[in-house]
Amino acid sequence: MSEVYKALADPTRRRILQLLREREMSAGEIAEHFELAKPTLSGHFAVLREARLVSPEKTGTTIIYRLNVSVLEEALLALMDAFKVDPQATSNNQPAQNNTTAKAPAAARRKGGTP
């Protein structure tokens, strides 16, 4: 899982994933969206592949990349679980409440303070 978080930590790799969310793309099509040297972009692809966030398919000399949504979902659910965020509350557009946060305003009122 740490490979996934490492991959997501970089803004360039997050942008690549955003592009792939729209549709599968060749490495060349993705490269058109960046002003990076090919070796640098290739390094980003390698990190994304290692984290299994993208699935490459080679056709001749072209590599087509697809977003691996299940790995991304798994990482997000693990992160939500670590921070005790209820996925049901967020999927229903309801703010998730943390017990310590929900009790803080009441405690402040008892002390005569304002939240």
Q: How far apart, in Å, are the Cα atoms of 53 and each of 21, 38, 65, 70?
A: 11, 20, 10, 8
Does one domain contain both 12 and 63?
yes
Does one domain contain both 64 and 104?
no
Domains held by the chain: number: 2
22: containing domain: 2-70
Does one domain contain both 8 and 51?
yes
- Residue pLDDT, tens place only, 87-101: 777 665 555 454 444
- Residue pLDDT, tens place only, 42-58: 999 999 999 999 999 99
Domain membership of residue 40 (yes or no) is yes
Q: What is the CATH number of the domain that holds 20?
A: 1.10.10.10
Phi/psi for 114 (5° steps) reads -105, 145
Does one domain contain both 35 and 58?
yes
CB 4 within 8 A of CB 68: no
Q: Does this model's pTM top 0.85?
A: no
